[in-house]
Amino acid sequence: MNKISFFKWTHIFLLFSYNFSYSLPAHRAPGQNYLDKVQELITPTPFSKDLTVYDSQIYFNELPNQKKNDFRNYDEMFRFFKTLRDKQFIAHKKRQRRSSWMYPQDGCWLRAELMNRNLEELSKKSLHKIFIFGNLNVKTPYSHSGDVSWWYHVAPVASLEGEYYILDPSIESLRPLKLQEWVLKQVPTIEQVGLSLCAPNAFNPNSLCEEIYPEAWEYVLGNQKVYLNMEEDLLVELGYDVDAYLGDHPPWN
């Protein structure tokens, strides 16, 4: 085993040692059916009156029409998107780091939570989250194979002028995506997924969809730091300029 592989598996071990009960990895092996991951990782709640994120799924055409606006206009939303994408708020290994946008393999639930916390700090508002379930696959330059596969994914969702916009730099680093575009970057047809539109504090598929209590900041940040290590290792493996990408010259600028 080479040095990079050793550190990668050490990071994975630390992630699940940190608190496995709350860590719900989104990664799916290529060719694996997402329902296998559901059977492995979803906690049944037959006696609960409150629906979990996973149990709250509906089809795309069943999503409610939104009349409220989370931002005054598209320009304001776009400015916040860029600020949240670029914010270097994590002190880690002698650097100030952004969220792990360049490690799309996993960690979406942490990135979504941190994005919302940063938005709340900047604007006193937080966004709902949109969870997607299915045999998801996304093309990316941050993978040896050129793509990554998930059984679920999550990102903050904004309502604006009757549209849902997804703020997800791990899939599209240049702009917010309309919901349908976001879905179709992950599956060939929109009918192939379930969607859960949940409260800002919903954290992973086993959380309550209408969760009112946030996860502990130390837990979220601690787990994100594990993925920051994995992001750095991946950029080295792929031959990218790590100092530039993790510093002041990320690839989207």
CATH code assigned at 32: 3.10.620
Beta bridge partners of 52: 208
Q: Tokens 């990895």: give the residue.
A: 25
Q: Does a structural domain hold residue 225?
A: no
pLDDT given for residue 67 in this prediction: 77
Extended strands (E) in 102-202: 128-139, 147-160, 163-166, 177-178, 194-198
pLDDT given for residue 16 in this prediction: 40
pLDDT given for residue 45 in this prediction: 80
Q: Does a structural domain hold residue 81?
A: yes
Helix or strand (DSSP H, E) at 214: none
Q: Does a structural domain hold residue 156?
A: yes
Q: Tokens 């592989």: give the residue.
A: 5
**Count of CB atoms within 10 A of residue 244's CB?**
13
Beta bridge partners of 97: 90
Per run of 10 residues, the mean pLDDT along the chain (length 253 residues) is 42 40 85 97 83 97 91 98 98 97 98 98 96 99 98 98 97 99 99 98 97 94 97 98 98 96
Q: Which amino acid, 22?
A: Y
**Count of CB atoms within 10 A of residue 71's CB?**
21
Judge whether 209 and 198 are in contact, CB under 8 Å: yes
Give dist(CA 55, CA 44) in Å, integer: 9
DSSP classification of residue 112: H
Q: How many domains is the chain partitioned into structurally?
A: 1
Residue 9 structure tokens:
């598996």
* CA nearest to 186, candidates 175, 173, 174, 172: 172
First to last CA, the chain: 35
3-state DSSP of 73-123: CHHHHHHHHHHHHHCCCEEECCEEECCCCCCCCCCHHHHHHHHHHHHHHHH
Q: Which amino acid, 86?
A: D
Q: How many residues does the chain have?
A: 253
Q: Tokens 């493996």: give the residue.
A: 237
Q: Does a structural domain hold residue 54?
A: yes
Q: Does a structural domain hold residue 228?
A: no
pLDDT given for residue 22 in this prediction: 59
Residue 68 structure tokens:
């409220």
Give dist(CA 179, CA 51) in Å, integer: 23
Range of the domain at 35: 24-213
Q: Does a structural domain hold residue 128?
A: yes
Q: Does a structural domain hold residue 66?
A: yes
pLDDT given for residue 116 in this prediction: 97
pLDDT given for residue 6 in this prediction: 39
Q: Does a structural domain hold residue 153?
A: yes
Would the pTM of this model clear 0.75, i.e. be above it?
yes
pLDDT given for residue 48 in this prediction: 72
Burial of 49 (C-beta count, 10 Å sphere; 0-12/13-18/19+): exposed
